[in-house]
Structure 1
Amino acid sequence: MPRTSMKRMAVGLFAIALAVLGSNRPARAAQLTIDLGHGATRWSTATLLARTDARTITVLGDVAFKRTRHYRAVPLANLLPGLVASDHLQFVAADGFTAEIPAVLLLNKRGSTAWLAIEDPARPWPALPGGHGRAGPFYVVWTQPRAAGVGPEQWPYQLATIRRADSVATRFPAILPDPATPTDSAVRRGFAVFQRTCFACHTLNGAGDARLGPDLNIPHNPTEYLRADLLRGYIRDPQSLRRWPQAKMPGFDRQALSDGDLDDLLAYLRHMAGRKATP
């Protein structure tokens, strides 16, 4: 084998080795920032694990790991003093995922409980299935999520920051439907679905804080270049349209997104195709 080819092979193998090591790196102590508008509080891994309200919980059907998991966790509401139902919170992950969760969901009385799962560096969590990295150091998990209608996008992992924010509609008016749209219309319902399922990864009209997926309206809205059946299939299973092992978009089955919610979401997207705005 020529020397140049051997050198290239060695460099390639070294790069692969680094990638493997990186994907299996041990968990390290980390810090979570919480800012509710009256000064940021920073919680270290050790401090959180040492709290008197930390306990071991069992999570059935974990969204990230797709199976039952056990975590050392703290009730999330206990870390958010002074939170009221009218507040709105933003959960920012290290990978660019941004979950928008209204405080009323965290304070619900229907039986669903939000927990902050804390990865112990001495007992690291396994890698996520599908080669999607790791969930730690902090991960919002839920017990009995169906009781309050908690969706899969409301389980942010790789969490770095929790902060109080104005509502999505206040911060990003470019994503609002036409004000003349009836309040009980499919478009309005679809706007709510969009905020819950899409806005964590995508922007629309350039508006939003997420950085994982492409914009859903500019330069083209997906309803403009995909047949309705293909778009429905793509949302249910992204790999049904394009086979891409590195794809990050999850599929939304009927448990995560009902057929009615999907109809409403598509109605909203079609509506917004006629309301393009350049950021």
Structure 2
Amino acid sequence: MQHWVLTLNCDDRSGIVHAVTAAIVAAAGNIAELQQFSSTDTGRFFLRLEVDSPVTRGALLAELNPVAERFGADITLDVAGRPLRTLVLASKAEHCVNDLLFRQRAGHLPIEVPLVMANHPTLAPLAEFYKVPFEHLAVTNQDEKAAFERRVLEVVDEHDIELVVLARYMQILSPELCEALEGRAINIHHSFLPGFKGANPYRQAHARGVKLVGATAHFVTTDLDEGPIIEQNVRRVDHADSVAELQSMGQDEESRTLTQAVKWFAEHRILLDGQRTIVFR
């Protein structure tokens, strides 16, 4: 018996759930979990199911494909819990990379990381600790940036990468790379400090007496930091917190927010609805 995860999205109309569940029954399947959502904003319908079935993937698709064709639906079918092949991009900051690699090694995050790429050598010992290959390419000018991005695309092809995670990778991706990775690249940033750009945002926040720090994980698009939002977290702070304490708390939020977004993506819980995401928790 194989445990599958199925997602579907199409224009909303009657009969979709009935048709999908009938196809699963025809494949001797049993539905273990079902979540659905109808978007009144876009008129789209979204469905996620976990299914136990003794048949092969091909046999299950043979029952589902006519349903997808009938409703003009996009469907995905994958083995539930299969580790997603993930490329991690980083710079110098350790916290997000460490959290991802630790949870992957502990079996709490269904990803497989064949490589960490960075524009600084700082994180090489961390990657070595987790026994993950590490590659460093400097990015100090436009030619080096172009070479780094060409290498990213080579790695994506060589390792059949399904997800690219910008784990505090402090470089702006070119429009070409954003388009090449559309729908499969996730970024994290300190979104609850929106007025503090450039270096030392937490020092700027401390000087202004902020009361909240937090983070946003979102898909990467050609519009800088404007991609569909996947997850956000926030925590209260006050005047007694030092710059170091603000930074520590902010980095905790960045780590857990990015890891949660990656986990949901790997579990096929995120579907795009225009500029929004549908997240089946």
Q: Shorter-chain TM-score category?
A: under 0.3
Structure with more strand by fraction? 2
Q: TM-score, normalised by structure 2?
A: 0.26
Q: TM-score, normalised by structure 1?
A: 0.26
